Amino acid sequence: MSKPFTQITDYEPKALIKHSFQRSFLVNSDTLDVWRWINDPRTFIDAQLPPYRVEFVPERFEVGVLNNHHGPGLNLPAVITVMEEPKYREMRYLYGSYVISPRIIRPTLIQFWLKPTDNGATQLRLVLQSWVHPWLSGPWTAFQKLFWCGFSLTINRGVARHAQRIETL
């Protein structure tokens, strides 16, 4: 009997260690609006600076859709494996995904949890799991903090604009 589909990245590359990065964001929007924004391919496609690019095949969010975030020193092919509206989404990176080099950093999984707060906002929590060369564990954590800080600065505006666009359609 074969392993379930969600086990596609369960491998242990030699010389790399498990790394997990977690971050939470408070979004001043309704959970459904945050869900719609985080599951709109244009959210990620439009935010990329050349020569980096994000592609979805086909261009939508649903289980089984392929995704690739790529550019110099970056190749992150993935598949959306779980969507539980409006509270959870996961995407598994495929074998061959890497940052810098396959021998340095190999992301394996990204997860998003959405939870409404008592005041009508949404707590968005993410977990990014990777295999990382031991000497890069600290710098990888620092890079993730910096990268997701940028996400944090734009999320409230992005969700609000997305919700307004949906209302006008």
Q: Please report, in tens digits, the pLDDT of each residue of the chain (169 residues total).
A: 444 455 555 678 889 999 999 999 999 999 999 999 999 999 999 988 899 999 999 999 999 999 999 999 999 999 999 999 999 999 999 999 999 999 999 999 999 999 999 999 999 999 999 999 999 999 999 999 999 998 888 898 999 999 888 777 6
Q: Residue 169: what pLDDT?
A: 67
Q: Residue 10: what pLDDT?
A: 64
Q: Residue 150: what pLDDT?
A: 87
Distances (CA, A) of 146 to 23, 25, 27, 60, 153: 11, 14, 18, 27, 11
Q: Residue 152: what pLDDT?
A: 86
Q: Report the distance separating Cα 38 and Cα 112, nearest Å.
A: 9
Q: Are 87 and 68 in contact (CB under 8 A)?
A: no
Q: Are 34 and 27 in contact (CB under 8 A)?
A: yes
Q: How far, rounded to the nearest angstrom, does the alpha carbon of residue 114 sit from its chain's CA centroid?
A: 13
Q: Residue 165: what pLDDT?
A: 83
Q: Residue 146: what pLDDT?
A: 94
Q: Residue 159: what pLDDT?
A: 93
- What kind and span of H or E run contains 90? strand 88-93
Report how far apart the first and last C-alpha atoms of the chain are (Å, whole number).
47
Q: Residue 7: what pLDDT?
A: 54
Q: Residue 167: what pLDDT?
A: 77
Backbone torsion region of residue 143, taken as left when φ is above 0, otherwise alpha when ψ lies between -120 and 50, otherwise beta = alpha
Q: Residue 8: what pLDDT?
A: 58
In three-state form (DSSP H/G/I as H, E/B as E, the rest C), the secondary structure along 4-39 is CHHHCCCCCCCCCEEEEEEEEEEECCCHHHHHHHHC
Q: Is the pTM of this model over 0.75?
A: yes
What would the DSSP string read from start to end of 111-152? EEEEEE-TTS-EEEEEEEEEEE-GGGHHHHHHHHHHHHHHHH
**Radius of gyration over every alpha carbon of the chain, rounded to an integer in angstroms:** 16
